[in-house]
Structure 1
Amino acid sequence: MSSSTDSAVRLTAWVQGEVQGVGFRWWTRSRALELGLVGQARNLTDGRVAVTAEGDRGACERLLDLLKGDATPGRVTSVTESWGAASGTFSGFVEA
Protein backbone atom coordinates (compact mmCIF):
# COMPACT_ATOMS: atom_id res chain seq x y z
CA MET A 1 0.00 0.00 0.00
CA SER A 2 1.22 3.43 -0.91
CA SER A 3 0.73 6.45 1.27
CA SER A 4 1.15 8.74 -1.73
CA THR A 5 -1.33 11.59 -2.06
CA ASP A 6 -1.14 11.22 -5.84
CA SER A 7 -4.46 9.40 -6.10
CA ALA A 8 -5.85 11.29 -9.09
CA VAL A 9 -7.95 9.29 -11.52
CA ARG A 10 -9.63 9.93 -14.87
CA LEU A 11 -13.33 9.32 -15.33
CA THR A 12 -14.72 9.26 -18.84
CA ALA A 13 -18.52 9.15 -18.98
CA TRP A 14 -20.68 9.00 -22.09
CA VAL A 15 -24.10 10.41 -21.29
CA GLN A 16 -27.04 9.49 -23.50
CA GLY A 17 -30.51 11.00 -23.65
CA GLU A 18 -31.80 14.52 -24.22
CA VAL A 19 -28.53 16.14 -23.18
CA GLN A 20 -27.62 18.54 -26.01
CA GLY A 21 -29.03 22.05 -26.26
CA VAL A 22 -30.40 21.97 -22.69
CA GLY A 23 -27.48 23.39 -20.67
CA PHE A 24 -26.13 19.96 -19.74
CA ARG A 25 -22.46 20.77 -20.44
CA TRP A 26 -22.68 24.03 -18.47
CA TRP A 27 -24.36 22.20 -15.58
CA THR A 28 -21.71 19.46 -15.67
CA ARG A 29 -18.91 22.05 -15.69
CA SER A 30 -20.44 23.78 -12.65
CA ARG A 31 -20.74 20.52 -10.69
CA ALA A 32 -17.19 19.45 -11.64
CA LEU A 33 -15.72 22.77 -10.51
CA GLU A 34 -17.63 22.55 -7.21
CA LEU A 35 -16.01 19.13 -6.71
CA GLY A 36 -12.53 20.42 -7.54
CA LEU A 37 -12.23 18.45 -10.78
CA VAL A 38 -10.59 19.37 -14.09
CA GLY A 39 -11.57 18.17 -17.55
CA GLN A 40 -14.17 18.81 -20.21
CA ALA A 41 -17.71 18.13 -21.36
CA ARG A 42 -18.27 17.99 -25.11
CA ASN A 43 -21.10 17.19 -27.48
CA LEU A 44 -20.69 14.16 -29.72
CA THR A 45 -22.19 13.91 -33.20
CA ASP A 46 -24.41 10.99 -32.14
CA GLY A 47 -26.25 13.15 -29.57
CA ARG A 48 -24.35 12.03 -26.49
CA VAL A 49 -22.19 14.19 -24.23
CA ALA A 50 -18.71 12.94 -23.36
CA VAL A 51 -17.51 14.00 -19.92
CA THR A 52 -13.85 13.64 -18.99
CA ALA A 53 -13.00 14.50 -15.39
CA GLU A 54 -9.75 14.15 -13.48
CA GLY A 55 -9.10 14.47 -9.78
CA ASP A 56 -9.80 12.69 -6.53
CA ARG A 57 -11.56 9.33 -7.03
CA GLY A 58 -14.28 10.22 -4.52
CA ALA A 59 -15.03 13.49 -6.29
CA CYS A 60 -15.16 11.72 -9.66
CA GLU A 61 -17.56 9.14 -8.21
CA ARG A 62 -19.75 11.96 -6.86
CA LEU A 63 -19.81 13.61 -10.31
CA LEU A 64 -20.78 10.27 -11.85
CA ASP A 65 -23.63 9.94 -9.32
CA LEU A 66 -24.80 13.45 -10.27
CA LEU A 67 -24.67 12.62 -13.99
CA LYS A 68 -26.85 9.56 -13.33
CA GLY A 69 -29.22 11.48 -11.05
CA ASP A 70 -32.54 13.07 -11.87
CA ALA A 71 -31.46 16.69 -11.25
CA THR A 72 -29.63 17.11 -14.58
CA PRO A 73 -30.87 19.43 -17.32
CA GLY A 74 -32.61 17.49 -20.08
CA ARG A 75 -33.16 13.79 -19.59
CA VAL A 76 -30.41 11.21 -19.09
CA THR A 77 -31.30 7.71 -20.25
CA SER A 78 -27.94 6.01 -19.69
CA VAL A 79 -24.36 6.67 -18.63
CA THR A 80 -21.43 4.49 -19.68
CA GLU A 81 -18.24 4.96 -17.69
CA SER A 82 -14.56 4.17 -18.02
CA TRP A 83 -11.83 4.67 -15.41
CA GLY A 84 -8.11 5.21 -15.82
CA ALA A 85 -5.10 7.10 -14.59
CA ALA A 86 -5.21 10.89 -14.69
CA SER A 87 -3.20 12.40 -17.55
CA GLY A 88 -2.63 15.75 -15.87
CA THR A 89 -3.23 17.56 -19.17
CA PHE A 90 -6.29 19.56 -18.09
CA SER A 91 -6.35 22.88 -16.29
CA GLY A 92 -9.82 23.92 -15.27
CA PHE A 93 -13.02 22.42 -16.65
CA VAL A 94 -14.30 23.50 -20.05
CA GLU A 95 -17.27 23.05 -22.31
CA ALA A 96 -15.65 21.84 -25.52
Structure 2
Amino acid sequence: MSTRMAYIGFNTKNSVFMSLVGDGSLLPGTIPIILWMDKCGRRFWYNFCLPSFFIGLIVLGVSYQVPITSPAPKGLYLTGVILCMGFVGSYSTAT
Protein backbone atom coordinates (compact mmCIF):
# COMPACT_ATOMS: atom_id res chain seq x y z
CA MET A 1 0.00 0.00 0.00
CA SER A 2 2.81 2.44 0.79
CA THR A 3 4.34 1.85 -2.65
CA ARG A 4 1.06 2.85 -4.27
CA MET A 5 0.84 5.93 -2.04
CA ALA A 6 4.36 6.94 -3.11
CA TYR A 7 3.34 6.48 -6.75
CA ILE A 8 0.56 9.05 -6.52
CA GLY A 9 2.82 11.70 -5.01
CA PHE A 10 3.35 11.20 -1.27
CA ASN A 11 6.94 11.21 -0.04
CA THR A 12 8.39 8.05 1.53
CA LYS A 13 7.55 8.88 5.15
CA ASN A 14 4.03 10.14 4.44
CA SER A 15 3.26 7.20 2.16
CA VAL A 16 3.76 4.80 5.06
CA PHE A 17 1.44 6.84 7.27
CA MET A 18 -1.17 7.24 4.52
CA SER A 19 -1.22 3.49 3.96
CA LEU A 20 -2.74 3.27 7.44
CA VAL A 21 -5.78 5.15 6.11
CA GLY A 22 -6.64 2.29 3.79
CA ASP A 23 -5.92 -0.37 6.34
CA GLY A 24 -7.69 1.58 9.07
CA SER A 25 -10.90 1.70 7.06
CA LEU A 26 -11.29 -2.06 7.43
CA LEU A 27 -12.26 -1.73 11.09
CA PRO A 28 -15.20 0.68 10.71
CA GLY A 29 -16.42 -1.40 7.79
CA THR A 30 -16.39 -4.58 9.82
CA ILE A 31 -18.10 -3.35 13.00
CA PRO A 32 -21.66 -2.95 11.55
CA ILE A 33 -21.55 -6.42 10.05
CA ILE A 34 -20.55 -8.00 13.31
CA LEU A 35 -23.33 -6.20 15.18
CA TRP A 36 -26.16 -6.67 12.69
CA MET A 37 -25.35 -9.87 10.79
CA ASP A 38 -28.05 -11.92 12.50
CA LYS A 39 -30.66 -9.19 12.17
CA CYS A 40 -30.13 -8.31 8.49
CA GLY A 41 -28.72 -11.52 7.02
CA ARG A 42 -25.93 -12.21 4.58
CA ARG A 43 -27.92 -11.43 1.46
CA PHE A 44 -28.54 -7.85 2.61
CA TRP A 45 -24.84 -7.31 3.31
CA TYR A 46 -23.81 -8.75 -0.05
CA ASN A 47 -26.28 -6.53 -1.88
CA PHE A 48 -25.16 -3.51 0.13
CA CYS A 49 -21.39 -4.01 0.03
CA LEU A 50 -20.68 -5.21 -3.48
CA PRO A 51 -21.95 -2.14 -5.38
CA SER A 52 -20.06 0.17 -3.02
CA PHE A 53 -16.92 -1.93 -3.44
CA PHE A 54 -17.19 -1.72 -7.23
CA ILE A 55 -17.71 2.06 -7.07
CA GLY A 56 -14.50 2.25 -5.02
CA LEU A 57 -12.66 0.24 -7.68
CA ILE A 58 -13.93 2.59 -10.40
CA VAL A 59 -12.76 5.62 -8.40
CA LEU A 60 -9.35 3.95 -8.00
CA GLY A 61 -9.13 3.34 -11.73
CA VAL A 62 -10.04 6.95 -12.50
CA SER A 63 -7.40 8.19 -10.07
CA TYR A 64 -4.68 6.49 -12.11
CA GLN A 65 -5.83 8.37 -15.24
CA VAL A 66 -5.58 11.87 -13.69
CA PRO A 67 -2.16 13.55 -14.11
CA ILE A 68 -0.03 13.46 -10.97
CA THR A 69 0.75 17.18 -11.24
CA SER A 70 -2.66 18.07 -9.82
CA PRO A 71 -3.78 17.27 -6.23
CA ALA A 72 -6.87 15.42 -7.52
CA PRO A 73 -5.30 11.93 -7.80
CA LYS A 74 -4.48 11.87 -4.10
CA GLY A 75 -8.07 12.62 -3.11
CA LEU A 76 -9.54 10.22 -5.65
CA TYR A 77 -7.13 7.47 -4.70
CA LEU A 78 -7.76 7.81 -0.98
CA THR A 79 -11.53 7.93 -1.54
CA GLY A 80 -11.35 4.78 -3.65
CA VAL A 81 -9.15 2.99 -1.11
CA ILE A 82 -11.46 3.88 1.77
CA LEU A 83 -14.52 2.69 -0.16
CA CYS A 84 -12.84 -0.52 -1.31
CA MET A 85 -11.22 -1.45 1.97
CA GLY A 86 -14.20 -0.43 4.09
CA PHE A 87 -16.70 -2.43 2.10
CA VAL A 88 -14.47 -5.39 1.32
CA GLY A 89 -13.94 -5.73 5.07
CA SER A 90 -17.67 -5.84 5.52
CA TYR A 91 -18.14 -8.21 2.60
CA SER A 92 -15.42 -10.62 3.69
CA THR A 93 -16.82 -10.70 7.24
CA ALA A 94 -20.23 -11.67 5.85
CA THR A 95 -18.88 -14.73 4.06
Larger strand proportion of the pair: 1
More helix by share: 2
TM norm structure 1:
0.31
Give the structure-2-normalised TM-score: 0.32
Higher alpha-carbon Rg? 2
Between 1 and 2, higher relative CO (CA 8 Å, sep ≥ 6) is seen in 1
